[in-house]
Amino acid sequence: MSQRFRGKIVVITGASSGIGRSAAHAFARQGATLVLAARSHDSLEAAAAECRALGAEAVAIPTDVADEHQVADLVATVTSRFGRIDVFVGNAALFVYGLFEQTPTAAFKRVVDTNLYGHLNAITHLLPHWRQRGSGTYVLVGSIQSLLSAPYQSAYVTSKHAALGLIDVLGDEFAHTGIRFTTLLPSTIDTPIYQNGANYTGKNSHPLPPTVSVDRAGRAVVRAAAHPKRYRYVGRVQASLVPLQYVFPGLFHKITKPMVELFALRGTGAPTDGNLWTPADAGNATDGGWVAKRRRVTRPLLVLGAVAAVATVALGRARR
Enumerate the active-site residues: 156
Closest contact distance (angstroms) between CB of 267 and ligand NAP is 19
Closest contact distance (angstroms) between CB of 280 and ligand NAP is 6
Smaller CB distance to ligand NAP: residue 33 or 183?
183
Closest contact distance (angstroms) between CB of 219 and ligand NAP is 14
Binding site for ligand NAP (CB under 6 A): 13-20, 38-40, 43, 63-66, 91-94, 114, 141, 143, 186, 188-189, 191-193, 196, 207, 275, 279-280, 284
Q: First-to-last CA distance in the chain?
A: 57
Smaller CB distance to ligand NAP: residue 33 or 114?
114
CB 169 within 8 A of CB 138: no
Smaller CB distance to ligand NAP: residue 248 or 284?
284
Smaller CB distance to ligand NAP: residue 237 or 306?
237
Closest contact distance (angstroms) between CB of 229 and ligand NAP is 18
Smaller CB distance to ligand NAP: residue 2 or 105?
105
| DSSP string computed for the chain | ---TTTT-EEEEESTTSHHHHHHHHHHHHTT-EEEEE-S-SHHHHHHHHHHHHTT--EEE----TT-HHHHHHHHHHHHHHHS--SEEEE-----EEB-GGGS-HHHHHHHHHHHTHHHHHHHHHHHHHHHHHT-EEEEEE--GGGTS--TTBHHHHHHHHHHHHHHHHHHHHTTTSSEEEEEEEE-SB-STHHHHSEE-SSEEE-PPSSPBPHHHHHHHHHHHHHS--SEEEE-HHHHTHHHHHHHSHHHHHHHHHHHIIIIIEEEE---B-TTSSS--GGG--S--SHHHHHHHHHHHHHHHHHHHHHHHHHHHHHH-
Q: Give the residue closest to ligand NAP by C-beta.
A: 18
| DSSP string computed for 267-318 | EE---B-TTSSS--GGG--S--SHHHHHHHHHHHHHHHHHHHHHHHHHHHHH
Smaller CB distance to ligand NAP: residue 117 or 200?
117
Smaller CB distance to ligand NAP: residue 65 or 222?
65
Closest contact distance (angstroms) between CB of 313 and ligand NAP is 40
Closest contact distance (angstroms) between CB of 130 and ligand NAP is 21
Closest contact distance (angstroms) between CB of 13 and ligand NAP is 6
| DSSP string computed for 112-139 | HHHHTHHHHHHHHHHHHHHHHHT-EEEE
